[in-house]
Chains A and B, each alone.
Chain A
Amino acid sequence: MASAGLASRLYAGDANINIVGRRKMWFTIAAALVLISIGSFLIRGFELGIEFAGGTSFSVPAAAGTKTLTQDEVSSAVEKAVKQAAPEAAITTTQKVGDGKDASFTVRASALSTDEAKEAKAAIVNDLGVDASKISDDQVSAAWGGQVTRQAVIGLIVFLVLVVAYLIIRFEVRMAVAALASLLFDLVMTAGVYSLVGFEVTPSTVIGFLTILGYSLYDVVVVFDKVQENTRGITAGSTRTYAEATNLAVNQTLMRSLNTGLVALLPVGGLLFIGAGLLGAGTLKDLGLVLFVGMGFGVLSSILFAAPVLSALKDQEPKIKAHNARVLARRSKGSDDVVRDRTRPANATASDVPAMAGGTTPRPGARPAARRNANRPGGPKR
């Protein structure tokens, strides 16, 4: 077994990495990261896009003397002019309004002061050779109203309440709390990265952010499903503490978590590559970036955060506490057990834990619900 490399041990689900046992370390790291993020929210805030903060809109006639301008020409000319007037300003959208002779282009840019706008206008006239009197600039409000944000936040809260209720029914209270903690951790971390790095927040970012909600929980559910399976009837035996059983589950699902994470991140990476690499900016980049960051944290936190939180919570439960004490007491008597347990957890899976053993497993095709009930008389809950 020692000869097998990490990759193949990972593949077989017996990498035996002690993750849950080092939970103090993960909690410290998580707490530090959360504090940094919240500090950054308060001090640095967020870089809001034009859709949220409003901006300046330029209207440029499509006809310059005898020639007709194209959307690209106008777009790049305005961008150059705006950048010249205010270095950190940018443009978002360019649209052609109307047809024929009276057509004009509307270009939306970051908010500019009156002087900056005047300077930019002069530069546009210079560059495109259009009639100066026909260029106009106007302040535009946010397209993404406060109400959209408010309703989205209300939706988020309703969702969290419902999902906790669902997780309590599907799993149990402590698992629901741990899953919620991990979800909130992901959201805070993603927002923290945005705040710290100063990435611009656009509507696409917000939408991507909401996608993380479902995804992050998806990962956690996969891990907790295995934990639930491994710890079913754990108090009946005395070979493994709850934390150890959880760690085993994490190891068994490690490959699955990495796989699902990788598979989900691949297309997002494609988006990011095209969006940021080839196009420079825009919807694809915004969405790709927030998903990449959020899903990345989702994979990490389901392994390194959700499971440790769960074991910490479960260890507070009287029944589990007593069980853990019994396991440790037995172990100090016969140290042989410990050695075996520590070195060969994968085999232990197959022979020690009742839930996994062949003797109690139902025939193929048995309904999971029935199995769960049949197997749980001495279970840790209910």
Chain B
Amino acid sequence: MHPGRQLGVLGLIFVVLYLLVFFAGDAKGSFTDRLQPKLGLDLRGGTQATYIASQAGGTPTTESMEQARTIIENRVNALGVSEAEVVVQGKNTIVVSLAGKADDQLKDLAQAANMRFRLLTGTTPDVSASALNPASPSPSVAASGVAPSAAPSGAAKPSAGASAPSITTGPSAGTGGQGGGEAVPSATPSANPSPAASAAAPAATPSASASAAPVPASVQEQRAAVAKKVGAALWAQAEKLTAPVDLSSDPKAGLAYKAFNALSPAEVAALTPQMQFNVPTISCDQLDKRPNGSIDDANSQVVACYSGQAKVLLDQAKVVGTDISSASPQLDQTNGQWVVSLDFTGDGQKKWADLTRVAFNATSSDPCYTAVQALYGSAEHCAVAVVLDKEILSAPQIQAVLTGSSQITGSFTVDSAKQLADQLKFGAIPVTFEAGPAQTISATLGLQQLEAGLIAAAIGMALVAIYAFFYYRLLGSVIFLSLLLSGLLTFGALVFLGRTIGYTLTLAGIAGFIVSLGVAADSFVIYFERLKDEIHEGRTPRSAVPRAWHRARRTIISANTITIMCAVVLYIVSIGAVQGFAFAMGLATVLDLIVVFLFRHPIMTMFANTKAFMSPRVSGLGRVLRRNPTEESVSSRVKEA
């Protein structure tokens, strides 16, 4: 490529980068504001939040705190490349510090610690909208209002059958296997299989009596208040419902329950699960906004939303998060799909086997069977919902009686499998967190250290420049200029990345970039020494420059490939501060390559065509040039050429 064109490309990169710096993302404020890189916790301070852990029956163990710390750290790191700090303080407090204002991000970090496994016993679409506006019934309304006992409705399924998750025996377990559907171990086709499903009367309506837990007085009060709000008559009417109101036969039937749609999420939470499920005007939105812990009670039936589209009625939690011993994402070797592998504690395994037996052996007359049918459109076995706090993480169909390690399959990606495994593990920690207020924290190092770092950078650069000028004379200016260019490119990239992907610059990062500038000067030395070799061998600068370039290029590319490889591997594999570092290293190396190819080489090519290049005073190569005639025999030179 023509040298001028290469410089042109470099200029274009510059213009684009700095246009991005000034105008892209949410660039705002004054000229200097737009040039601010996102500084890290140590230099700028940030936000700190404390989470106090509590555990039923005493203080949490050191191990569970460390486990919780790791999971919270993973969540923090998932927020972006920001070097956050997560420590356990004292016996039961986790302190999270993030750079900048991050109150929103800190809110949900320690959330969701209660995991429940519940049999899915009923489902009904969220018809609140159409129940309130019967004038414009959508096609799905006609087929909706599916009672647990009603015929399966195709329109009610939220997702295609292919993506419906399922649980199978893990590869390590001896029994069951992937083909559990064919090899039913103890199928009793028509019998009512287990006590767990005994709430299923012939009509299979969820009955209020199924809720085993006595209702606390406070809830009684809340219910009374709600009854007053919606009106006693309506309350009684709603309480009498034994199945979701069927809007298909009478589209206007839902209108009567309008008052329920105005209830606050907290008030909805106070209703009985049956009312929450049966009253058509209670929306998924209301259910999802119930306070945390609303459906934590393992001994009662609960209602939750599946993918925000269907309300599902869930049985008592037979297995809880603490029954899990481990969970991990795995790549299924046979079909190349991601699955989540689950292992249970000794006691938990027994409970899990019982629960899966009920789900697996259920027949078409069981409410759970029809519920699955309605939800997924097809069913062979009942589903168990994995509920974390208020959210159904997954509602896999049970493919076997699971007596060993289990796998949750479904259309997982690496990330979603990892996330679910993470949440399962988190659910396994028997602690709950209470978030304290987020507070601002000052920088630990502050401007003094930042200034010192910049002075160090200046000193380092000055030393390199002095050395370059001393050794390579005027060619040193090319080194100096390209270092300056590298620096400007790096700075621009930092500002831009800080704004877009949240890359924060810590003092260690600054030091890393200083070092990388020095290493960038290395590729120059390689090039120049090659050039010297070529001239030493008797070439004219005009022919030596391209030759030296081709040879040095090979070396520079090899060496930089290794550095980039190092950065990429560390970035993918590692977490936390190491990941941030790897990012910086990769970035600096790529920018170095850009400068080498688009600046040094074209500049040198142009330089080689000038007369001054040969002058010893101008280029450091002169000494070699002068030595040539005395050292090398001219005749041998001629012979070779």
Q: Which residues of A contact B (CB under 8 A)?
A: 1, 8, 11-13, 57, 71, 92-99, 106, 138-148, 151-152, 154-156, 158-159, 162-163, 166, 170, 203-204, 206-207, 210-211, 213-215, 217-218, 221-222, 225, 252-253, 255-256, 259-260, 262-271, 273-275, 278-279, 282-284, 287-288, 291, 347, 350-351, 356-359, 364-368
Q: Is the CB of A213 within 8 A of B566?
A: yes
Say whether, besides A152-B578, A163-B562, A288-B511, A368 and B69 are in contact (CB < 8 Å).
no
Q: What residue in chain B is nearest A142 (Cβ atoms)?
A: B87
Q: In the complex, which residues of chain A have a beta carbon less than 8 angstroms from the beta carbon of B518?
A: 263-268
Choice from A12, A57, A207, A218 contacting B577 with Cβ under 8 Å: A207
Q: Is the CB of A358 within 8 A of B641?
A: yes
A153 to B288, CA, bound (A): 42
A350 to B456, CA, bound (A): 44
Q: Is the CB of A152 within 8 A of B574?
A: yes
Q: In the complex, which residues of chain B have a beta carbon less than 8 angstroms from the beta carbon of A1?
A: 631
Q: Identify the stretch in B16-24, B174-182, B522-530 within 8 Å (CB) of chain A at 4 or more residues.
A: B522-530
Q: Is the CB of A140 within 8 A of B87?
A: yes
Q: Is the CB of B514 within 8 A of A282?
A: no
A-contact bits for B50-80, CB 8 A (1 contact / 0 none): 0000000000000001100110010000000
Q: Is the CB of B547 within 8 A of A95?
A: no
State which residues 488-540 of B face A: CB under 8 Å.
506-508, 511-512, 514-515, 517-519, 521-522, 524-526, 529, 532-533, 536-539
Choice from A143, A215, A252, A273 contacting B519 with Cβ under 8 Å: A215
Q: In the complex, which residues of chain B have a beta carbon less than 8 angstroms from the beta carbon of A350?
A: 537, 632, 636, 640
Q: Is the CB of B519 within 8 A of A264?
A: yes
Q: A259-B471, A271-B460 are in contact. List 15 more A-B contacts (CB 8 A).
A: A94-B444, A139-B89, A143-B87, A148-B578, A152-B578, A166-B561, A210-B570, A264-B521, A267-B459, A268-B518, A270-B514, A274-B459, A287-B511, A288-B456, A351-B636
> Which of B93, B512, B538, B569 counts the most A-chain CB atoms under 10 A from its CB?
B569
A-B contacts, 23 listed (Cβ < 8 Å): A13-B529, A95-B45, A95-B442, A96-B441, A138-B89, A140-B90, A141-B88, A145-B66, A152-B570, A207-B512, A207-B581, A210-B582, A211-B581, A213-B566, A260-B522, A266-B463, A267-B459, A283-B449, A283-B507, A287-B512, A347-B631, A350-B632, A368-B553
Say whether, besides A96-B442, A213-B566, A274-B459, A221 and B519 are in contact (CB < 8 Å).
no
A211 to B641, CA, bound (A): 44
Q: Is the CB of A284 within 8 A of B559?
A: no
Q: Is the CB of A93 within 8 A of B559?
A: no
Q: Is the CB of A95 within 8 A of B576?
A: no
Shortest distance from the beta carbon of B52 to any chain A beta carbon, whole Å: 12
Which 10 A/B pairs are nearest by Cβ-Cβ distance? A267-B460, A358-B640, A270-B460, A141-B88, A96-B442, A155-B573, A274-B456, A93-B444, A270-B459, A214-B563
> Which of B95, B553, B561, B570 counts the most A-chain CB atoms under 10 A from its CB?
B570
Q: Is the CB of A273 within 8 A of B456?
A: yes
Q: What residue in chain A is nearest B572 (Cβ atoms)?
A: A155
Q: In the complex, which residues of chain A have a beta carbon less than 8 angstroms from the beta carbon of B439?
A: 97-98
> Which of B85, B460, B514 counts the most A-chain CB atoms under 10 A from its CB?
B460
B151 within 8 A of A: no
Q: In the complex, which residues of chain B have a beta carbon less than 8 angstroms from the beta carbon of A206?
A: 578
Q: Is the CB of A284 within 8 A of B441?
A: no
Q: In the complex, which residues of chain A have a beta carbon less than 8 angstroms from the beta carbon of B463?
A: 266-267, 269-270
Shortest distance from the beta carbon of A144 to any chain B beta carbon, whole Å: 7
Say whether, besides A252-B533, A358-B640, A203 and B467 are in contact (CB < 8 Å).
no
Q: Is the CB of A214 within 8 A of B566?
A: yes
Q: Is the CB of A365 within 8 A of B525?
A: no
Choice from B526, B569, B576 contacting A158 with Cβ under 8 Å: B569
A287 to B69, CA, bound (A): 27
B550 within 8 A of A: yes
Q: Is the CB of A263 within 8 A of B521?
A: yes
A-contact bits for B269-291, CB 8 A (1 contact / 0 none): 00000000000000000000000
Q: In the complex, which residues of chain B have a beta carbon less than 8 angstroms from the beta carbon of A154?
A: 573-574
Q: In the complex, which residues of chain A have a beta carbon less than 8 angstroms from the beta carbon of B576?
A: 144-145, 148
Q: Is the CB of B562 within 8 A of A207?
A: no
B457 within 8 A of A: yes
Cross-chain pair count, CB within 8 angstroms: 280
Shortest distance from the beta carbon of A290 to any chain B beta carbon, whole Å: 11
Shortest distance from the beta carbon of A72 to any chain B beta carbon, whole Å: 9
Q: In the complex, which residues of chain A have a beta carbon less than 8 angstroms from the beta carbon of B443?
A: 95
Q: Which residues of B contact A (CB under 8 A)?
A: 42, 45, 48, 65-66, 69-70, 73, 85-90, 93, 95, 97, 439-446, 449, 452-453, 455-461, 463-464, 467-468, 471, 506-508, 511-512, 514-515, 517-519, 521-522, 524-526, 529, 532-533, 536-539, 543-544, 546-547, 550-551, 553-555, 558-559, 561-563, 565-567, 569-570, 572-578, 581-582, 585, 623-624, 627, 631-632, 636-637, 640-641
Choice from B453, B525, B555 contacting A263 with Cβ under 8 Å: B525
Q: Is the CB of A268 within 8 A of B578?
A: no
Shortest distance from the beta carbon of A110 to any chain B beta carbon, whole Å: 14
> Which of B66, B444, B547 counts the most A-chain CB atoms under 10 A from its CB?
B444
Choice from A96, A141, A260 contacting B69 with Cβ under 8 Å: A141
Q: What residue in chain B is nearest A105 (Cβ atoms)?
A: B442
A138 to B467, CA, bound (A): 50
A262 to B470, CA, bound (A): 13
Q: What residue in chain B is nearest A202 (Cβ atoms)?
A: B508
Q: Is the CB of B559 within 8 A of A222?
A: yes
Shortest distance from the beta carbon of B468 to any chain A beta carbon, whole Å: 8
Shortest distance from the beta carbon of B185 to any chain A beta carbon, whole Å: 39
Q: In the complex, which residues of chain B have a beta carbon less than 8 angstroms from the beta carbon of A273?
A: 456, 459
A11 to B514, CA, bound (A): 28
Q: Is the CB of A365 within 8 A of B546?
A: yes
Q: Is the CB of A287 within 8 A of B550?
A: no
Q: In the complex, which residues of chain B have a beta carbon less than 8 angstroms from the beta carbon of A255?
A: 529
Choice from A11, A12, A265, A267 contacting B461 with Cβ under 8 Å: A267
Q: What residue in chain A is nearest B88 (Cβ atoms)?
A: A141
Q: In the complex, which residues of chain B have a beta carbon less than 8 angstroms from the beta carbon of A356?
A: 537
Shortest distance from the beta carbon of B19 to any chain A beta carbon, whole Å: 30
Q: In the complex, which residues of chain B have a beta carbon less than 8 angstroms from the beta carbon of A207?
A: 508, 512, 577-578, 581
Q: Is the CB of A283 within 8 A of B522?
A: no
Q: Is the CB of B559 within 8 A of A147?
A: no
Say whether, besides A98-B439, A268-B518, A364-B543, A13 and B577 are in contact (CB < 8 Å).
no
Q: In the complex, which residues of chain B have a beta carbon less than 8 angstroms from the beta carbon of A213?
A: 566
Q: Is the CB of A366 within 8 A of B562?
A: no
Q: What residue in chain A is nearest B545 (Cβ atoms)?
A: A364
Q: What residue in chain B is nearest A136 (Cβ atoms)?
A: B90
Q: Is the CB of B554 within 8 A of A225?
A: yes
Say whether, besides A138-B89, A155-B578, A98 and B565 are in contact (CB < 8 Å).
no
Q: Is the CB of B515 within 8 A of A268?
A: yes
Say whether, besides A163-B562, A225-B558, A274-B453, A366 and B550 are in contact (CB < 8 Å).
yes
Q: In the complex, which residues of chain B have a beta carbon less than 8 angstroms from the beta carbon of A166?
A: 561-562, 565
Q: In the complex, which residues of chain A have a beta carbon less than 8 angstroms from the beta carbon of B533?
A: 13, 252
Q: Is the CB of B562 within 8 A of A222?
A: no
Q: Is the CB of B555 within 8 A of A222?
A: yes
Q: In the complex, which residues of chain A have a beta carbon less than 8 angstroms from the beta carbon of B445?
A: 93, 282-283
Q: In the complex, which residues of chain A have a beta carbon less than 8 angstroms from the beta carbon of B566?
A: 159, 163, 210, 213-214
Q: Is the CB of A263 within 8 A of B464?
A: yes
Q: Is the CB of B441 within 8 A of A97?
A: yes
Q: Is the CB of B467 within 8 A of A267?
A: no
Q: Is the CB of B508 within 8 A of A268?
A: no
Shortest distance from the beta carbon of B590 to any chain A beta carbon, whole Å: 13
Q: In the complex, which residues of chain B have a beta carbon less than 8 angstroms from the beta carbon of A152?
A: 570, 573-574, 578
Say whether, besides A155-B573, A252-B533, A255-B529, A217 and B441 are in contact (CB < 8 Å).
no
Q: In the complex, which residues of chain A have a beta carbon less than 8 angstroms from the beta carbon of B640?
A: 350-351, 357-359
A368 to B547, CA, bound (A): 9
Say whether, besides A264-B518, A275-B456, A256 and B570 are in contact (CB < 8 Å).
no
Q: In the complex, which residues of chain B have a beta carbon less than 8 angstroms from the beta carbon of A13?
A: 529, 532-533, 536
Q: What residue in chain B is nearest A137 (Cβ atoms)?
A: B90
Q: In the complex, which residues of chain B have a beta carbon less than 8 angstroms from the beta carbon of A270?
A: 456-461, 463, 514
